Amino acid sequence: MRKKIVAGNWKMNTLPAEGVELAKGVAAGRGEVCSCVNFIVCPPFTHISEVAKALEGSDIAIGAQDCATEAKGAYTGEIAASMIAALGCKYVILGHSERRQYYGETSETLNKKMAQAYANGLTPIYCVGENLDEREAGKHFDVVKAQIEEVVYNLTEEQFANLVIAYEPVWAIGTGKTATADQAQEIHAYIRKVLADKFGAAADDCAILYGGSCKPSNAAEIFAKEDVDGGLIGGAALKAEDFLAIGKGF
């Protein structure tokens, strides 16, 4: 049985006190959602510690939105995987399209970040997805294949067993434009095949999340698809009620 996951990527939103309120709201309503759903919240680095305290005693896990390529040292402004693990993070989002697009992340940097995540016991949520031009040119399959081959194919079997993938078409992120449930299923099934080509039957156990304008009104239809194992939620994760309602989509 694959894990069902609803993860909230808060991006660069909320001040610490707001983040704590949001986390408390999610924890307060969590009981209304099936315990089979694994909730993860990914606050900005600056409030991970306080959010972790607010979530003590709940089953809601915490993730970071990125980590450094190096273990420690003279890398001004960077946050090491060991630091976020020490604050209680279990997950780290890596390769988000915003980091690829605005901060020049490449497969080369992502291989290093993945290694740091695993060395510190974190489960990466590795993001893949095409932009609008690539989708319109029919290149979306090739784009996600390359993003997987260049990074995920370098993992050991043991590491792969501890990986979450998020498919996030760039044209659907923050645009209100969602992939249809059929479009999501088509590419999720393809991603699973690409994973199976390297890792065999273990690909059946890998959770593949959909991200991109996922909200309470469309989550159930998307999550009903065979190869969609949950969502990586941006905007709708900033309201506890909406985030929880997405979890009810299972």
What are the catalytic residues? 96, 168
Distance CA 54, CA 71 (A): 28
Any contact of residue 147 with ligand 13P (CB under 6 A)? no
Considering only 66, 105, 168, 227, the residue that binds ligand 13P (CB under 6 A) is 168
- Of 67 and 199, which has the nearer Cβ to ligand 13P? 67
- Of 199 and 232, which has the nearer Cβ to ligand 13P? 232
Please report how the helices 240-247 and 16-29 are oriented relative to each other, as an axis angle in degrees rounded to 10.
40
SS3 assignment, position 34: coil
Considering only 69, 120, 213, 218, the residue that binds ligand 13P (CB under 6 A) is 213
- Of 168 and 227, which has the nearer Cβ to ligand 13P? 168
- The answer to whether residues 29 and 38 touch, using CB atoms and an 8 Å cutoff, is no
Distance CA 81, CA 72 (A): 9
According to CB under 6 A, which residues from 214 to 233 bind ligand 13P?
214, 232-233
Considering only 212, 230, 247, 249, the residue that binds ligand 13P (CB under 6 A) is 212
- The answer to whether residues 164 and 201 touch, using CB atoms and an 8 Å cutoff, is no
Phi, psi torsion values for 227, nearest 5 degrees: -100, 10
Q: Which residues bind ligand 13P (CB under 6 A)?
A: 9, 96, 168, 173-174, 211-214, 232-236
